[in-house]
Structures are given as structure tokens and as C-alpha cells.
């Protein structure tokens, strides 16, 4: 019998910055009742994480899966990644520059969506010219939802989508393109993969232009956000308790 959810936190360095510590600590308090594991390269020295987060386990992968952003994208575009967590219905990817304000995951898991990530306000465009969309069947597509930094994925449907579009996978693997774009583009072209519209997605997570989405979604704060201090830290600080770290936060920090 499968379990509902696993939280996976990707690591690639031996310790976190102060703002990453704040974000992860806050998120783990919000997700206190969830199973959470770090995913990391085999050779990573994990002493810092074992000391600071003694209740979290580790799942290790080959070093080359974390050698670059392109390598990480390839990892999350492999069926074997999702098959490794086959005992779970859903995977929450929680990168260390994401923050979870509250745990609404039971609500989101009850919805029909197979993949949810923060919206892209300007969209991303691609002309798909491969597989069953080749030649005269080519399709210009523009997508608005899918940021993978804080994303909820229905594991078996992600495997099915990867298997549905092997030609597209080959292109993405060769180029090292963003894995979240694959799920967004090809999910939109699948007959059996459901992604929410951008306003609905903004209730789950925000990244770019959070104040805009807060306005157009009716003034509802999302469950969480990705790269929250990089784009509009002032917006997020309004939903976080006061702290010295936040007071000192450079609103333009990288």
C-alpha cells in the first residue's frame, strides 16, 4: 500500500547560507507531520545536515546527478528517479531557496492535478516539432505554470508523461534544459496529464511577481514560494514573523 507523500530536499553543497537555513527551518516546521528526506550526491559531506536536521534521512544518487544544473535537470527527467519513490503517491520538491508558509498539501493532493508549481507571469513559448507533433502537426505552445523549485508531483503520472514523449525527453536530456519546462510543455500536450491554470497555481506557490498574483487571486497568500528573497522579499516578509535576519535582508540579495 502506497503512502501519500514524501518531501524531497535537493542538496549539492556541504552547508546552507543563513537565509537558506531560515527558509528550510521554517518550511520543516510547517511540514512537521510529513516525511522528509534530503537527496544528495554520494560524496557530499553531510555532517552539517546530520547535526542540524537529525530527524531527516538521506537518499543518495551518483555524484554526476548534481554536478551542474543541467545534470540535476536530467535526474528529474529520468523515470528511475520517480520509480525510486514508487511507494509514495506524491513528491514535493522543496529546494533550499523555497519556503512553505503552511501545510495545505492534503487539499492539493485531493485535487486532480498531476503537477503544480509557481506560475510564470510572462509565460514560456516553444514550437514542438517531434513525435506525433512533427511536421505539419507541429504545435506552438505557450505555458504559464510549472516552476519546479517548490512543486508537487503525482509520481506515477510523471513516469507516464516521461514514457509518453520519449522524443522530447531525448531533446531535453541532450540540451540539459529545465526539467520543469518539460512537464509544463509536454503536460499541456498530453491527453492524460493535468496542470492548473496560473491563478490556481498562485494559491499553491509564487515566485515571479508575487504581489501581482496576490492581487488577481483575490488576496490569498500561497502555501509557499520559491526564490522568495530574490524577487520581492518585501512581499514575503509581510507573511513571516519578525526576525533580525529578515530585518537585515538585502532585498536584492542573490
In a domain, 237, yes or no: yes
Ramachandran angles phi, psi of 177, nearest 5°:
-65, 165
Q: Would residue 202 count as lying in a domain?
A: yes
**pTM, whole model, 2 decimals?**
0.95
State the DSSP H helix or E strand holding residue 211, giving kind and residue range, or none if neither.
Answer: helix 210-216
Query: What domain range includes position 164?
Result: 3-247
- pLDDT given for residue 254 in this prediction: 41
Q: Which residues neighbour 117 within 8 Å (Cβ) at sequence distance 6 or greater? A: 145, 146, 147, 148, 149, 150, 151, 152, 180, 184, 201, 204, 205, 226
CA distance 14 to 52: 12
Q: What is the mean pLDDT of residues 26-50?
A: 97
* Average pLDDT of the residues in 32-61: 97
* Of residues 162, 180, 165, the one with CA closest to residue 128: 165
Please list, in sequence order, all residues whose beta carbon lies within 8 angstroms of the beta carbon of residue 209, skipping any fewer than 6 positions away.
121, 231, 232
* 252 located within any domain: no
Confidence at residue 250, expressed as pLDDT on a 0 to 100 scale: 59
CATH code of the domain covering residue 203: 3.90.550.10
Q: Which of 82, 86, 99 is nearest to 27 (CA)?
A: 99
On the 0-12 / 13-18 / 19+ scale of CB atoms within 10 A, 215 is exposed
Give the mean model confidence (pLDDT) for residues 30-37. Answer: 97
3-state secondary structure of 128: strand
State mean pLDDT over 111-137: 96
Is residue 221 included in any domain, yes or no?
Answer: yes
Q: What mean pLDDT do residues 183-201 have? A: 97
Residue 94 covered by a domain:
yes
Mean pLDDT across the stretch 12-37?
A: 97
54 found inside a domain = yes
What is the number of structural domains in the chain? 1
- Compute CA 250 distance to the chain's CA centroid, rounded to the nearest angstrom: 24
Give pLDDT, residue 31. 98
Residue 254 included in any domain: no
| pLDDT at 21 > cutoff 50 | yes
What b-and-e string marks burial along 69-93, b requiring 16 or more CB atoms within 10 Å of the CB? ebbbbbbbbbeebbeebeebbbbbb
164-172: average pLDDT: 95
- pLDDT band of 221, cuts 50, 70, 90: very high
Tell me whether residue 174 is in a domain: yes
| Helix, strand, or coil (residue 247) | helix
Given this model, what pLDDT does residue 176 score? Answer: 86
Amino acid at each position: 500500500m502506497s503512502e501519500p507523500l514524501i518531501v524531497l530536499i535537493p542538496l549539492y553543497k556541504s552547508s546552507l547560507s543563513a537565509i537558506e537555513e531560515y527558509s528550510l527551518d521554517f518550511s520543516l516546521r510547517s511540514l512537521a507531520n510529513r516525511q522528509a528526506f534530503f537527496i544528495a550526491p554520494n560524496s557530499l559531506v553531510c555532517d552539517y545536515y546530520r547535526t542540524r536536521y537529525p530527524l531527516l534521512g538521506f537518499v543518495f544518487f551518483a555524484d554526476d546527478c548534481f554536478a551542474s544544473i543541467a545534470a540535476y535537470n536530467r535526474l528529474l527527467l529520468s523515470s528511475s528517479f520517480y520509480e525510486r519513490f514508487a511507494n509514495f503517491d506524491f513528491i514535493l520538491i522543496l529546494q533550499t531557496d523555497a519556503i512553505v508558509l503552511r501545510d495545505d498539501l492534503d487539499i492539493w493532493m485531493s485535487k486532480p492535478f498531476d503537477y503544480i508549481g509557481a506560475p510564470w507571469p510572462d509565460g514560456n513559448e516553444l514550437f514542438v516539432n517531434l513525435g506525433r507533433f512533427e511536421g505539419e502537426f507541429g504545435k506552438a505552445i505557450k505555458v504559464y505554470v510549472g516552476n519546479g523549485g517548490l512543486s508537487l508531483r503525482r509520481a506515477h503520472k510523471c513516469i507516464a508523461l516521461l514514457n509518453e514523449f520519449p522524443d522530447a525527453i531525448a531533446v531535453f536530456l541532450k540540451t540539459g534544459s529545465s526539467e520543469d519546462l518539460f512537464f509544463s510543455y509536454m503536460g499541456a500536450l498530453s491527453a492524460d496529464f493535468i496542470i492548473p491554470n496560473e491563478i490556481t497555481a498562485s494559491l499553491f506557490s509564487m515566485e515571479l511577481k508575487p504581489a501581482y498574483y496576490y492581487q488577481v487571486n483575490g488576496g490569498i497568500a500561497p502555501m509557499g514560494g520559491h526564490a522568495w528573497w530574490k524577487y520581492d522579499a518585501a512581499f514575503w516578509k509581510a507573511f513571516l514573523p519578525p526576525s533580525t535576519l529578515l530585518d537585515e535582508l538585502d532585498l536584492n540579495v542573490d
